[in-house]
Chains A and B, each alone.
Chain A
Amino acid sequence: MSEAFLKTLSIYGYLPKSTFTVNKKLMNNTKIIKPIEAAQCESTGEIFYTQYPLREWGPVKKIQQMIRDNISGDLCSVRFTWQRPKKEATGETEFLYETLAGLIDVSWELANSPLAGLHINRMAGCNNLFALASFANGIVAEIEMNECLPDSMPPTYFLKANFENGHGTNQPIVGHFNEEGAILANDAAMQRVVIENTDWDDCGDELAICHRKMLRSIELGEYPGGPLNTQPIIEAIRKVCA
């Protein structure tokens, strides 16, 4: 097994080191080849395996189970988000002929129908592309692959499946990482910015915004004057902490 394959396995986290040691011994005589090599293999009767680790990806397995159990009716479309920082980018061949090929392979598995069309829109000179794969039964796979994120960002791998009567996904319902605010990143740092109003976009911090809003409410006469509930609150804290 190649080092690149080992790395890929560990990225997906389904092969702990100890298990891998055992598997390595077991699989010494097993021929596992890359998709680009498998595509050139003629049928000689020799047993080999094509390296598609994404077939074992949790969200893929779960969607397959949803389909088997008819949880949400028929599948209609899937959308993949595959993003990595530049420092983790693979070579172009791996990007196209292993990762993209792997995503198309699992789309095909989920669609359960042959590939009918593939459109790839690549950015020149970097691992960044959008692809649309159509299958013979009308299911579509949307693929966003971007290995050009700033180095301060973590990788994200999401899959959303849209069915006739429901959805299945590991994608955050809100935001980029299921967190508050927008994400602004360069190679040095990543920050979450909360932008309340364009005139306050120098701020970006939720609590600082609250302070500005309070001052504005006071100015507009909307904020109540006086001690409010302060006395019993402070008294209660004192009682416990004094």
Chain B
Amino acid sequence: MKPVRMIVAGTANPHVMGYLRRADQEISLVFDAVADFNQQRLSQAKEVLKGHKTQYYTDWREMLDAHPEADAMMIGSDNKHHFEMFQEAIKRNLHIYSMKVASMDEDECREMQKLAANYDRVIQVEFELHFSPQFRYARKLIERGELGEIQSIYFTNISQSPINYFPDWGNPELSYGKIIPIRPGATIYRGGALTDHPHPYDMIRWITGREFKKVYAVSARNQRSHLQVEDHAAMTGELDNGVKFFINPSYANLEEKVPARRLLWPKSLECNLKITGTKGYYAADYFDKHFYVVGNNHVSPNRLVVDGTGRTKLHAEDSMVGVFVACVRGERDRPESTLDDSIAAVKVMNAAYESIYTDSEVYVNK
């Protein structure tokens, strides 16, 4: 079957490089072109795709003009540019594969929803944790009522910050879209860990089937004094059925202060889920099939690192790309995670920012 021809608008999101690295194994996708205004990032993409026939551009609009054969566009730029790329992709009738924050600007989000309302192409927003079987299992447990009535849910999404090795990372305007201090008078701005970790809101909605009602959030002093955006946030609140939640979306696992992705804390990502119900309890870890590695040629050399042991994919649709391709080919009705899912997460994230700013509880849908 013919592969989906993809062009990539921006490589600011570190996940984009992950897709490009897997280009050799991904037979259902072909990357025709990559654009990035940042030469350093574009050079990284060229290096990763060495040997492929991919073409490169510094202007994403020029790339669009030069590739009328493209079926789909990956929106991987800084969040600030997502909206204009989204508009342009719609104008050109392309399928859209967007990195996970549609836009932090809720006016733009509403506009995107209007544009998407009668659009006959696929729009998928990347929420890859839907494909972690231990989290899918949590959803099943709740659907089957095995945990009883849910009382509380806890989700952490803690990583390192790519600040030292990813160009333009930590720029508040590029990340959040505008410059807003985290608290009145602060010199730390929105656009850090909270903006970068939309999974908890999406996962809690997806697992419980409920919406967020209200949130109270705090942000501690930054661990990284050179970072302009917040690197810590923690919040608690209530879902629309009264279930209490706790979320930590932080860069609270430190990286080495070198211009490369090197872990200091041995675990790159903490995604811990804990659900307490009247009949039972479930706890899952992103690395629940863990493996410890030390190696002098490892990306984090000579350091004990926690890795995973992989998962068995039984179907092509056991991955974000598989689902997207299946939707493009008409083999599946809707993507696993949608624009609406992303915007629902953005609303909670902005409510959390407002809560930090005002030091008060904030209702998500005011």
Contact = CB atoms under 8 A, between A and B. Distances in A.
A194 interface: yes
Nearest to A162: B252
B152 interface: yes
A137 interface: yes
Interface string B264-277: 11110000101010
A242 to B, nearest CB: 36
A175 to B, nearest CB: 5
A121 B243 CA distance: 10
Contacts of A130: 152, 154, 236, 244-246
B288 to A, nearest CB: 5
Contact of B276 (A149, A173, A184, A216): A149
Interface string A161-177: 01111110000011110
A196 interface: yes
Contacts of A25: none
Given A140-B234, A197-B314, A76 B133 contact: no
A138 B288 contact: no
Nearest to B287: A174
B246 A181 contact: no
B137 A195 contact: yes
Contacts of B117: none
A106 interface: no
B279 A164 contact: no
Contact of A148 (B151, B250, B267): B151
A117 B217 CA distance: 11
* Contact-residue size bin, chain B (C-beta under 8 Å from the other chain): 35 or more
A79 B233 CA distance: 12
A160 to B, nearest CB: 8
Interface string B353-366: 00000010100000
Given A180-B290, A183-B281, A213-B312, A144 B154 contact: yes
* Contact-residue size bin, chain A (C-beta under 8 Å from the other chain): 35 or more
B267 to A, nearest CB: 6
A56 to B, nearest CB: 25
A201 B221 contact: no
A117 B136 contact: no
Nearest to B304: A173
B306 A173 contact: yes
Contacts of B306: 173-174
Contact of A216 (B238, B311, B312): B312
B20 interface: no
B41 interface: no
A206 B151 CA distance: 30
A201 B137 contact: yes
B248 A79 contact: yes
A182 B280 contact: no
A199 interface: yes
Contact of A165 (B152, B216, B254): B254
B110 to A, nearest CB: 30
A166 B267 contact: no
Contacts, number: 171
Contacts of B250: 77
A138 B220 contact: yes
B232 A181 contact: no
B290 A175 contact: yes
Nearest to B222: A76
A185 interface: yes
A176 B276 contact: no
Interface string A51-87: 0000000000000000000000010110100000000
A139 interface: yes
Contacts of B253: 167
Interface string B234-262: 11111000001110101011100000000
A32 B246 CA distance: 34
Contact of A180 (B236, B244, B289, B313): B289
Given A150-B280, A182-B284, A166 B254 contact: yes
Nearest to A116: B359
Contacts of B284: 182-183
A132 interface: yes
Contact of B232 (A140, A173, A174, A176): A140
Contacts of B266: 173
Given A142-B246, A162-B252, A174-B288, 16 more contacts: A76-B232, A77-B220, A119-B361, A121-B236, A123-B152, A138-B220, A138-B221, A140-B220, A162-B220, A176-B283, A184-B282, A196-B289, A197-B311, A198-B133, A200-B133, A216-B312
6 shortest interchain CB distances as A-B pairs: A138-B221, A140-B220, A182-B284, A77-B220, A130-B236, A186-B280
